[in-house]
Structure 1
Amino acid sequence: MPDPDTPVIKTRFAPSPSGHLHVGGARTALLSWAYAKGRGGRFILRIEDTDQKRSSRTAMEGMLRDLRWLGIDWDEGPEFEDCGGGDNGPYFQSERLDIYQQYLDQLIVEGKAYYAFETAEELDAKRADARQRGEPYRYDRAALDLSLEAVNQYRAEGRPAVIRLLVESGEITIHDEIVNDAIIPAGELDDFIICKADGYPTYHFAVVVDDQLMGVTHVLRAQEHFKNTAKHMLLQDALGFRRPTYGHLSVIINPDNSKMSKRDKDKALRAAARENGMTESPTALIPQDAFAAWLKNKDQQLELNQAVVLADVLGIELPEIDVDDFRRSGYLPEVLCNFLALNGWSPGQDIEKFDNAFLIERFDLNRVNKAPAKFDRAKLLSFNLDALSEMPEDDFVQRVLAHAREFHPEFAEQFTDEQLDLIARCNKARSKTLNDPISESTFLLTADEAIEYQDSKPIRKAMHKGDGHRHLAAVRGLLEALDPFTAESIEDVLTQYAQQHTDGKLGVVAQPLRIAVTGTTVSPPIYDTLALLGRQRVLARIDRCMSLRVGLPDEPIRSTEP
């Protein structure tokens, strides 16, 4: 039971809806949620959408969906599914402008903030002067020399103005529950902007007001925000607000020690485009001038739909960066949560596999690491494989079917429910993701005359040294006469044939069949594979394989197409 005399712990996650939910943000949300839930507290979701140019409702809805997919719910925030609501709204910063204005006015009246009217060009000139002197730029407080009459006149004229906080001198000590405490020397910070010329508050001002009014007691966020804490503390002091407890989480990095960034997708695309000598946009989705600028500027990013199309043209897989990437790739939400929690935290006792209930019970800031956390995709894939292997078959089937219908409807629509069920079941043993049964079964949708055969050593071994063509000719007749044409009846007839002609070595028969109907030496179990294709398609593919003399050395493999 929580102590009634102890304030209720409140944490928050406050994303900017400018794109998909990055795994770093997802980890922040997950650990903030677990910290509050494990202490009988409340978790708040707040949408920081004051950047009107970059914010989008589509991105916001995608973030809410991804959080719910991960199993994260919020006690206060936007209403979505069974979450949200609360007495401290609105939970969109764009709907709280009147609230921010009250506190901006308070600081102006108290002489703790002031209007500044310099244009961007004037500020650029001051920065250039500082560079020439070899000094860091600091705002010179020129606006403080303006009289009250001049300020009022400029405002009446509609002259654009920002509001700056009057920063008092003195060092600032930042206490953090995870990283070492830090001291910001006196004079390090200048009078920073707290309200932009368009009337919208800056991130620093809005977040401080919101945390106070929503009762946030603990703030967990990435270490990249650590330096912002000093500004937030100055604002809290100026406004007479309490200070929440801060904990800054380690940065997530790639195995090569580079920062795991949304720009990784563009980096991969740009490298592939240059390798292929691509200088012109291959799609109308990306105008040529935009494509040329993107190629030259390593910091420029394509829209997600543009990136997906370009990746398809280049024939590459985009690196998985966002929660939506892993969701589409067929990872389980419980596995991704498990893995994200381990990126920077450890429960001890060599425990690696756990669920969200365990995380809520055991998560504590004392075991959060300070060092950067490496995002090992191979380990994540191994975790997912283990989870799928341990999953009951019926549960696996239902998850695969739901995944196929959501992300691969063009595949799911080609089959009956019974066929989809069989596709899932016969691929379970080899599946590392929910995508695998689908990607491993694309041969089912390939036209019979379009199956491609590779001239590889395993194929030559099965078709020539293993006498594959002779076995194909023999079992073709058996399959043509087989009734009914089911996995069970196919198994019976092939087993009987192997016992009579190959000393019971079923692989000697199965491998040529697999090559004939899929073009490869790897497929789901051969009985299921043949049953899914159906009699006529199996016979057609056997005939084509034999006519092309696949795997035989005396003639090159040729196509029957004109």
Structure 2
Amino acid sequence: MTTTHEPVRLRFAPSPTGYLHVGGARTALFNWLIARRHGGTFILRIEDTDRTRHVADSVAKILDDLRWLGLDWDEGPEVGGPCGPYFQSQRRAIYDEHIRRLLESGNAYYALETPEELAAMRERARATHGGFRYPRPDPLPTIAEGESARRAGRPVVVRFKMPGEDVTVTDDVLGTVTMPADQHEDFVIQKADGFPTYHLACVVDDERMGVTHVLRGQEHLMNTPKHVALQRALGFRTPRYAHLPVIVNMDGSKMSKRDKEKALARGETPPEIEVHDFRAAGYLPEALVNFIALLGWNPGDDREHFSLAELVEAFSLERIGKTNARFDRKKLLAFNTDWAARLPQERLVLAFRDFLAARRRDAGESRPPLIYRPTGKEPTDEELRTILQACAGFRTFPDVLRKAGFLFVADEDVAYDPKAVKKVLAKNDGAGFAMLRGLLDRLESQADWSAEALEALIESVCEEKGVGMGSVAQPLRVAVSGSTVSPSIGLTLALLGREAVLARIRRCLSLDRNGQPD
């Protein structure tokens, strides 16, 4: 990365409009990695000047998602810092001062058109099949005229006067980028409600917070000439820019929050788009961070698996590509499976607990905590470790609940899958039910309830009856879990415990061929 001799200072500046988009998470990660690699400062700034799009609790959700990803910040909300406040809505006096400077220097002016007048201008442009470009008034309203109109209650805005020249930007990813003068129009820097726009606030804050490098998505590239022009008009230095590849779906369409709305309208399961979605779907933060780090960046060799610490050592702007980055969900799932298998058990237990807690929060605490049937209490770390080991090879945490969920329901609440009952128990004149009756006697007299002893018992029954393991194990599995999916049968019975196993077999034997009480 090209740097100056000054300490690097990078920022992530989300808007509190909802949960953190995975694209925003990647931007935060890349900024964090550069700051950590070069011993710099990572700043978190909340860009909340657009009050119409502000969503309550968004800031708390964004902070929580960043922490879940393992990204901390040196300055910003909750930690403070020398350049605060770090909420733009609390910095209006600072922006007003700079807007005043631009007005007095002739680099900005009050625009007096009403929204209706602007709409009429756009309509006339459409009627002539031309693109709308704001026409700079001639002569420009004076400061006194603008202030008078504002006092009278008119919806007055302040516009920046773009210079009539090309703007060239040196980008650390894209190289030299020039935007012709005819693509620029005078843009709003202060809205009628008195709040600054993103452009003005962003430029002022980057200067006052000493930001040296701006890493953001390529969708912001067209904003950069505006920001450079503002910097020059205010006498600011220009930070180094690096615009990151756009994240797209596998079909090339932009990965947007609206993808979820479209899927729901089609009656489909909505895709994961925001970090919260991936948390709810049971992904590990290690896997998601590893995956999004490779969206537009590569290490220059065949390595694919990186911890955060390894990413800090390997990451550089020089390895970021220019083309769109495709979000391959199958690859992410494979990453998650790999990470679930390689993480220390202690870490995996903590991640599983976090997933379970998030499920409860998302349900508004209406979802009861998981109660481990053998103890009647919430599971201990050791019990969760055993369950996770029993489900080894799982892809996401919901797989664990599907495979071992029977351990967390009361005996009388086991829901029997009608298809499983018909296929495994009722088929061949109730052969499965008959097998269960014989097994019940054997299990009632079984002294050793370890997984190994139970597995040996079932194998001996198979030998006695001359049948395969499935003919014995599957009826037992359906009886105690309600489905045909669980860990190995010996481990399934051992985890559940003698009392529950016997109670569930007896209850199952009372079912009819459709899985309903007879």
TM-score by length of 2: 0.89
Q: 2:368 aligns with which of 392, 401, 410?
A: 410
- Partner Cα distance (2:420, 2:398) in 1: 28
- C-alpha displacement of 1:516: 2.8
On the 8 A contact 1:485/1:534 being kept in 2, the answer is: yes
Q: 1:438 aligns with which of 396, 401, 413?
A: 401
* 1:88 equivalenced with 2:120 (yes/no): no
- Partner Cα distance (1:423, 1:511) in 2: 22
- Partner Cα distance (1:250, 1:207) in 2: 21
Deviates more, 1:367-376 or 1:403-412: 403-412
Cα 1:149–1:321 change in 2 (3 A) is: closer
The answer for the alignment partner of 2:72 in structure 1 is: 73
Alignment of 1:407-486 (within 5 A): 407-408=359-360, 410-413=368-371, 415-416=376-377, 417=379, 420-421=383-384, 424-444=387-407, 445=409, 447=412, 450-454=415-419, 459=424, 464=428, 468-483=432-447, 485=449
- Partner Cα distance (2:325, 2:122) in 1: 36
SS in 2 for 1:53: helix
SS in 1 for 2:10: strand
- C-alpha displacement of 1:434: 2.8
- C-alpha displacement of 1:262: 0.8
* 1:400 equivalenced with 2:352 (yes/no): yes
On the 8 A contact 1:331/1:434 being kept in 2, the answer is: yes
What residue identity is the alignment partner of 1:359? Answer: L
Cα 1:230–1:145 change in 2 (3 A) is: closer
Q: 1:511 aligns with which of 457, 464, 474?
A: 474
Q: 2:155 aligns with which of 151, 160, 177?
A: 160
Q: 1:228 aligns with which of 216, 223, 231?
A: 223
Q: 1:261 aligns with which of 256, 261, 273?
A: 256
What is the count of residue pairs matched by the alignment?
Answer: 504
Cα 1:113–1:263 change in 2 (3 A) is: same
- Partner Cα distance (1:511, 1:443) in 2: 15
SS in 1 for 2:168: strand
Cα 1:215–1:388 change in 2 (3 A) is: same
- C-alpha displacement of 1:479: 1.6
% of aligned pairs identical? 46
Cα 1:356–1:97 change in 2 (3 A) is: same
Q: CA RMSD in A?
A: 2.8
Cα 1:34–1:449 change in 2 (3 A) is: closer
SS in 2 for 1:72: coil
Deviates more, 1:28-37 or 1:49-58: 49-58
Q: 2:291 aligns with which of 308, 331, 339?
A: 339
What residue identity is the alignment partner of 1:71? Answer: G
Q: 2:177 aligns with which of 179, 182, 199?
A: 182
- Partner Cα distance (1:422, 1:350) in 2: 33
The answer for the alignment partner of 1:382 in structure 2 is: 334
SS in 2 for 1:181: strand
Deviations for 1:395-450, whole angstroms, at most 9, x for unmatched residues? Answer: 43443244324425625245532594376245331311233222323344274574
SS in 2 for 1:429: coil
On the 8 A contact 1:47/1:93 being kept in 2, the answer is: yes
- Partner Cα distance (1:449, 1:185) in 2: 68
On the 8 A contact 1:223/1:251 being kept in 2, the answer is: yes
The answer for the alignment partner of 2:455 in structure 1 is: 491
Deviations for 1:84-126, whole angstroms, at most 9, x for unmatched residues? Answer: 3211111110011000011000011111111111110011111
SS in 1 for 2:418: coil
Deviates more, 1:218-227 or 1:180-189: 180-189
Query: Which structure 2 residue ranges, 5 or more long, are not aligned?
Result: 361-366
The answer for the alignment partner of 1:522 in structure 2 is: 485
Cα 1:390–1:97 change in 2 (3 A) is: same
TM-score by length of 1: 0.82
Query: Which structure 1 residue ranges, 5 or more long, are not aligned?
Result: 273-315, 550-556
- Partner Cα distance (1:331, 1:421) in 2: 17
Cα 1:456–1:225 change in 2 (3 A) is: farther
* 1:201 equivalenced with 2:200 (yes/no): no
The answer for the alignment partner of 1:122 in structure 2 is: 117
On the 8 A contact 2:109/2:140 being kept in 1, the answer is: no
- C-alpha displacement of 1:338: 0.7
What residue identity is the alignment partner of 2:396? Answer: T
The answer for the alignment partner of 2:47 in structure 1 is: 48
Cα 1:523–1:223 change in 2 (3 A) is: same
Deviates more, 1:346-355 or 1:419-428: 419-428
Alignment of 1:537-548 (within 5 A): 537-543=500-506, 545-546=508-509
What residue identity is the alignment partner of 1:51? Answer: D
Q: 1:357 aligns with which of 282, 287, 309?
A: 309
- C-alpha displacement of 1:377: 1.2
